[in-house]
Chains A and B, each alone.
Chain A
Amino acid sequence: MDAFLHQVLAGLATGGIYASLALALVMIYQATHLVNFAQGEMAMFATYLAWSLLNAGVPYWPAFLLTIGIAFVGGILIERVVVRPVESSPVLAIVVVFIALLVILNSVAGWIYTYTLKSFPSPFPQQAAFKYMSPHEIGAIGITLVVLAALYVFFRFTPLGLAMRAAAQNPESARLVGIRVGWMLALGWGLAAAIGAVAGMMVAPIVYLDPNMMGGVLLYAFAAALVGGIDSPGGAVLGGFLVGVLENVLGAFVIGNELKLSVALVLIVGVLLVRPSGFFGRVHVTRV
């Protein structure tokens, strides 16, 4: 029972990280109806920037905030420069551009920082205060919840959040009332990149820093976003925790650690087949 509880709680901690990244995916999906395959590598790159800052002697929290800021600007730049020209192209062109972004970010990170593993510090104290979870795990969950709350407040109570929602839901009408839809999309990318950066900095102390660290995490985040419904932020967070727990418990007791990634594969294909809109997503009806 103890071991089981431990696995569930550890699952919640990694689930928080999947939830953050899933949230970033949902942000971009809501705004543009695109699934960003490069989300994980964007987060990885931001984490390397944080590592550079820390190495340059910047204390953790200022570096943390600075990285989020840089990621935000970087996300906006990527939307403006790379994604915008193919916005109305066929799906294949868009997927190819995202995959290209993925490999470029991955290789540039490898080029600059080499492929050797680097350790990344955790901002939380080392000694365990609680029997089942390390302080970092508790902290990661806390940060996820803070990010979620901040996003909720932003979208629910600020004029800018309202404008962004309007732009995502009905671009034409939004444009008519004077919202600059293009910039709202860019802002969405910026926010997604910032959230991704948080996820990257939270997962790096667990998986170590290397250019390929986000491959598995991205897959779980996809699964989480799909389980929760790809257009529902709350669903994505819940999905993230669910996938985290499921992955950990199944990995520990049922199928073994070797097949963990296949859990994500089965979840993704299963959800897409049985309930494509996820648990909290809206069902889309297309007019012929």
Chain B
Amino acid sequence: MKRNIFLIFLLLAVACALPFLVSNYRTFQLTLVLVYAIALLGLNILTGYSGQISLGHGAFYALGAYCAAILMDKAGVPYWATLPAAGAVCFVAGFLFGLPALRLEGLYLALATFALGVAMPQLLKYHHLEKWTGGVQGIVIPKPEAPLGLPVNADQWLYFFTLFVTLVMFVLGWNLLRGRVGRALTAIRDHAIAAEAMGVHNALYKSTAFGVSALYTGVAGALGAIAVQFVAPDSFNIFLSIVFLVGIVVGGLASISGALYGALFIQFVPNIADEISKAAPWAVFGIFMIGFVYLMPTGVAGAVRLLLARRRTP
């Protein structure tokens, strides 16, 4: 345990030093890694821990992003204040979608969420909402500057802000999943009826898990929108939801650290594969997905755990 804490502080120190060592563009990419990590943690709460498959989490990411963009653009709300709002809206939306989803299991839930993911861009383009959403053109939002005259540029500031939010979200997530709630969710995933018999309120836990998961993804969406400075319907298509799925499968299902590995994977692997062909990242994603399901179902996090365990017991 002591070693783990030491490792986490080391990781934090590296994370704080990084933006001063690399270019602004790399800093921006690292910001996105953190954003994805939050979103993946959200999806992992739902799919990894409580076993409800979502193929439509891009929709909640979009909702969060649009919340932030609309609040900043139309109401002049400062960027940091949009995060709680986006989280709250997504929690409610997720909870409400989770209620009917209670009746759906496995494949059917996957189907319903898949439909949500496919339909989302069209909903965002809907012309009666254009007044707020900006229709196909989307919304451009300004980049926040560092406050109080801190000696960092805008990219670095946004990175540190995101790092702070990520830290808070991960600590909250860790507390949530390592305790009573996490155990209850895992019990529902592994045997719903047995969990019910032990006194777990299945319906409440499952729909709350949906809400919390959407909240995480929504906060990530809001941060992502601020980092990219732009939202448009077509950047939130079904493939975004699939990217998240790739992330949790590669990073490791039902694992908190897995969200980080997955985020690194979905941010940097496409960059490398892009040099071969425009279509190559997706082929690589697909092959990795199948490969991980066949060979390493616990993902990178599982492999790391295995390696550490082997080193400790020679």
Q: Is A110 an interface residue (CB 8 A)?
A: yes
Q: Is B297 an interface residue (CB 8 A)?
A: yes
Residue numbers in A under 8 Å from B283 (CB-CB): 103-104, 107-108, 111
Residue numbers in B under 8 Å from A260 (CB-CB): 122
Q: Chain B, 51-68, contact with A by CB distance < 8 Å: what is the 0/1 string?
A: 101010000000000000
Q: Is B290 an interface residue (CB 8 A)?
A: yes
Residue numbers in B under 8 Å from A265 (CB-CB): 115-116, 118-119
A101 to B287, alpha carbons, bound, how many Å? 9
Q: A92-B53, A272-B112 are known contacts. Are A100 and B125 too (CB-CB below 8 A)?
A: no
List residues 91-114 of chain A with CB under 8 A from any CB of chain B: 91-93, 95-97, 99-104, 106-108, 110-111
> Residue B107 contacts which of A34, A96, A115 (CB distance < 8 angstroms)?
A34
* Nearest CB on A from B50, distance (A): 12
Q: Chain A, 249-272, contact with B by CB distance < 8 Å: what is the 0/1 string?
A: 000000010111110110011001
Number of interface residues of A (CB under 8 A): 45
Q: Is B249 an interface residue (CB 8 A)?
A: yes
A104 to B285, alpha carbons, bound, how many Å? 8
Number of interface residues of B (CB under 8 A): 45
List residues 193-235 of chain A with CB under 8 A from any CB of chain B: 215-216, 219, 222-223, 226
Q: A108-B279, A111-B280, A261-B118 are known contacts. Are A95 and B110 too (CB-CB below 8 A)?
A: yes
- Cβ of A110 and Cβ of B290 under 8 Å apart? no
A51 to B287, alpha carbons, bound, how many Å? 26
* Nearest CB on B from A135, distance (A): 30
A41 to B283, alpha carbons, bound, how many Å? 13
- Cβ of B289 and Cβ of A100 under 8 Å apart? yes
A110 to B280, alpha carbons, bound, how many Å? 9
Residue numbers in B under 8 Å from A222 (CB-CB): 111, 114-115
Q: A91-B106, A258-B126 are known contacts. Are A264 and B253 too (CB-CB below 8 A)?
A: no
Q: Is A53 an interface residue (CB 8 A)?
A: no
* Nearest CB on A from B132, distance (A): 15
Residue numbers in A under 8 Å from B280 (CB-CB): 107, 111
Q: Is A82 an interface residue (CB 8 A)?
A: yes
- Cβ of A104 and Cβ of B287 under 8 Å apart? yes
Q: Is A159 an interface residue (CB 8 A)?
A: no
A72 to B122, alpha carbons, bound, how many Å? 34
Q: Is A174 an interface residue (CB 8 A)?
A: no
Name B278's closest neighbour in chain A (CB-CB).
A110
Q: Is A37 an interface residue (CB 8 A)?
A: yes
Name A107's closest neighbour in chain B (CB-CB).
B282
Name B238's closest neighbour in chain A (CB-CB).
A215
- Cβ of B279 and Cβ of A35 under 8 Å apart? no
Q: Which residue of A35, A89, A260 has the most chain B CB atoms within 10 A of its CB atom?
A: A35
> Residue A95 contacts which of B107, B112, B277 (CB distance < 8 angstroms)?
B107
Residue numbers in A under 8 Å from B106 (CB-CB): 91
Residue numbers in A under 8 Å from B277 (CB-CB): 111
A229 to B105, alpha carbons, bound, how many Å? 16
A-side binding surface: helix, strand, loop or mixed?
Answer: helix
Q: Is A85 an interface residue (CB 8 A)?
A: yes
Q: Is B15 an interface residue (CB 8 A)?
A: no
Residue numbers in A under 8 Å from B47 (CB-CB): 92
A123 to B104, alpha carbons, bound, how many Å? 42
A91 to B108, alpha carbons, bound, how many Å? 10
Residue numbers in B under 8 Å from A93 (CB-CB): 293, 297
* Nearest CB on A from B292, distance (A): 8
* Nearest CB on B from A178, distance (A): 31
A264 to B290, alpha carbons, bound, how many Å? 29
Residue numbers in A under 8 Å from B107 (CB-CB): 34-35, 91, 95
Q: A96-B293, A264-B119 are known contacts. Are A35 and B127 too (CB-CB below 8 A)?
A: no
- Cβ of B289 and Cβ of A96 under 8 Å apart? yes
- Cβ of B53 and Cβ of A258 under 8 Å apart? no
Q: Is A69 an interface residue (CB 8 A)?
A: no
Q: A215-B118, A261-B118, A268-B111 are known contacts. Are A103 and B282 too (CB-CB below 8 A)?
A: yes
- Cβ of A82 and Cβ of B290 under 8 Å apart? yes
- Cβ of A258 and Cβ of B122 under 8 Å apart? yes
> Which 5 pairs from chain A and chain B are nearest by CB?
A107-B282, A104-B286, A100-B289, A110-B279, A91-B106
A104-B290, A107-B280 are known; give 10 further A-B pairs, CB within 8 A: A82-B290, A96-B289, A99-B55, A100-B289, A103-B285, A111-B283, A216-B118, A226-B111, A265-B118, A269-B100
> What are 14 A-B pairs with beta-carbon distances under 8 A?
A37-B55, A91-B106, A93-B293, A96-B245, A96-B290, A97-B290, A100-B285, A103-B282, A103-B286, A106-B282, A108-B283, A264-B119, A269-B112, A272-B111
